[in-house]
Amino acid sequence: MAYEKLFESIKIGSTELKNRYVMAPCNFIFSDWTGLINEEDIAYYVARAKGGASVCIVGAILCTELGKEVANIPWPYMTSIEHIPGLAMLAESIHLAGAKAFAQILPASGSRGNPMRDDVQPIAPSAGVEYVFSTDQSHGQAESILKSRIKGRWLKEKYLSHPKPREITVAEMEQLIKESAQNAKLAVLAGFDGVELHLCHHYILDQFRDPRFNKRTDKYGGSRENRHRFILEYAEAVIKSLREEREDFTIGVRVGSECGEEGGYTLEDTMWLAEKLQELGIDYWSTSIGFPPIPECKMDSKVDGGYLQWSRKLRDVLKVPILTASVHSPDLAEEAVTKGWTDLIGLGRPLVADPELPNKVKENRVGDITKCLKDNLCWVGFDMCLPGRCSQNPELGREKYNPKYLLTEGFKGAKMLPAVCRK
């Protein structure tokens, strides 16, 4: 086999993965503001599981009431028992389609508000430091796409405005921690194999790390220790709660590496954080970007595999397996895993454009892969609460109409039992 190393199994925590290709968390809006999982969500993940990914990480699920209140987009929710049937069907469907299922959890979005939700003021470490769209992950691209595509004048003005956040109180921070620790346990009930703590992408926890956004003068602002206090208190509480619930549950973290602008957090800060998170007992680390990303890691960068530079450096402090996203070329992915730069390859947009990518690589049909163009139309739609669409894959968001993704086999006997009832 040409891509031998990519198709070697690996154990992360207590979860055995059949290969090194992971579906990176990529949330799309197929749902409404109820936060319930629907058929579009399930078929979207089933397509990627059937396409050969070893584990599907279900994109950010909001776990707190305050998070829901200030949500910038309709995220999936996991705050009460009413969300369990949909999440359980999702985890079960991913399993039936041949992959493991992890749930990525997020306490709240952060200063990134929704310009269309006038009645909702976003929360942030400090008041007034707004989230500027043009320096977002898409870097000007989002803004230029918006300018050229939105026809209505009022809409254009609205979407290019930036709601000003208010400062989150210490009582609210404590509440976010308490609820997240409690509600993370619902992922066990829903039958997921693991949970990933979303600690990056300039949502509330990540913004505490960043001196440009965190101007606090209490014990949560100022020194490196103080700026990381909230993230560490949060991670400690969630990990402890999950370990108490089920010892053999896989727990990972997704963390921003460094900001591509002076004054943001640095790779040294992240190496320091990596040691602390490792002490808390994480099972894997997922490398991601700071805000704004350094040039070669921007969403429209011509460079492939930019995040690998961080994973290679983080190896010095991390003993747990490392997952690295944004490696689009299978040749580079094979090289990176073979040379030990990373253990796992996270596919975000490449799997959006072609859910069958891992199978095609395995079968040595790389030429048949529909490539992601990094034009970021999927991303812009996401920020505008429009249903997920891809310029290269007309089936995105419409997978439920493809009989290939209907789970007709395996619906017999014990496999039908909810995960908690299985031996």
Ligand X SMILES: Cc1cc2nc3c(=O)[nH]c(=O)nc-3n(C[C@H](O)[C@H](O)[C@H](O)COP(=O)(O)O)c2cc1C
Instruction: Provide, rounded to whole angstroms, the least separation between the CB of residue 171 and ligand X.
Output: 27
Query: Are 205 and 108 spatial neighbours (Cβ–Cβ below 8 Å)?
Result: no
By CB under 6 A, tell whether 310 contacts ligand X. Answer: no
Instruction: Decide: is 64 part of the binding site for ligand X (CB under 6 A).
Output: no
Which CB atom, from 129 or from 378, has the smaller least distance to ligand X? Answer: 378
Stretch binding ligand X (CB under 6 A), from 187-195, 271-279, 378-386, 403-411: 378-386
Q: Is 28 exposed, middle or buried (0-12, 13-18, 19+ CB in 10 A)?
A: buried
Residues 6+ apart with CB under 8 A from 202: 110, 111, 112, 131, 210, 213, 256, 291
Distance CA(119)–CA(341), nearest Å, equals 46
CA dihedral 415, 419, 422, 423 (to 10 degrees): 130
Nearest 5°: the CA angle 347, 351, 352 is: 125
By the rule CB under 6 A, 197 interacts with ligand SF4: no
**371 to 400, contacts with ligand SF4 by CB under 6 A?**
372-378, 390-392
Token pair in block for residue 328: 């689009």
Please name the residue that has the structure tokens 């947009």: 349
Measured CA to CA in angstroms, residue 398 lies from 161, 217, 389 at distances of 31, 49, 9
CB of 379 to ligand SF4, least distance (A): 6
- Does 149 bind ligand SF4 (CB under 6 A)? Our answer is no
Residue of 64, 93, 104, 342 interacting with ligand X (CB under 6 A)? 104
173 binds, options ligand X, ligand SF4, none, Cβ within 5 to 8 A by partner type: none
Residues 105-164 that bind ligand X (CB under 6 A): none
List, in order, residues 6 or more apart from 162 with CB less than 8 Å away: 113, 115, 130, 131, 132, 133
Q: What whole-number distance in Å separates Cα of residue 255 and Cα of residue 244? A: 24
Please pick, from the candidates 126, 207, 309, 326, the single residue that binds ligand X as defined by CB under 6 A: 326
Size of the chain in residues: 423
Quick one: which of 288, 309, 311, 324 contacts ligand X (CB under 6 A)?
288
| Per CB under 6 A, 378 contacts ligand X | yes
Output the smallest distance, CB 288 to ligand SF4, in A.
Answer: 17
- Is residue 379 within 8 A of residue 137, CB to CB? The reply is yes
By beta-carbon distance, which residue lies closest to ligand X?
Answer: 348
Per-residue interface string for the shown chain with ligand SF4, residues 325-364, x marking contact by CB under 6 A: ------------------------x--xx-----------
The SS3 call for residue 292 is: coil
- Binding test (CB under 6 A) with ligand X, winner from 44, 249, 284, 382: 382
If contact means CB under 5 to 8 A according to the sort of partner, which of ligand SF4, ligand X, none does residue 288 touch? Answer: ligand X
Q: Taking the CB of residue 405, how many other CB atoms lie within 10 A of it?
A: 22
Stretch that binds ligand X, among 119-127, 265-273, 342-350, 415-423 (CB under 6 A): 342-350
Among positions 325, 357, 384, 396, the unique one binding ligand X when judged by CB under 6 A: 325
For residues 20 and 8, the answer to whether their CB atoms sit within 8 Å is yes
Which of ligand SF4, ligand X, none interacts with 250 (beta carbon under 5 to 8 A by kind)?
Answer: none
The nearest distance, CB 198 to ligand X, in angstroms, is 5
* Site size for ligand SF4 (CB under 6 A): 13
Question: For residue 23, what is the enclosing H or E element?
Answer: strand 21-23
Tokens of 109: 């979005």
For the chain, the distance separating the N- and C-terminal CA atoms, rounded to the nearest angstrom, is: 35
Question: Given the rule CB under 6 A, which of 78-86, 164-172, 233-241, 368-376 is the region that contacts ligand SF4?
Answer: 368-376
Integer angstrom CA distances of residue 324 from 51, 91, 105, 159: 19, 23, 18, 32
As measured in angstroms, the least distance from the Cβ of 373 to ligand SF4 is 4
Which positions lie near ligand X, rule CB under 6 A?
A: 24-28, 59-60, 104, 198, 201, 254, 288, 325-326, 347-350, 378-379, 382
Which positions lie near ligand SF4, rule CB under 6 A?
A: 349, 352-353, 372-378, 390-392
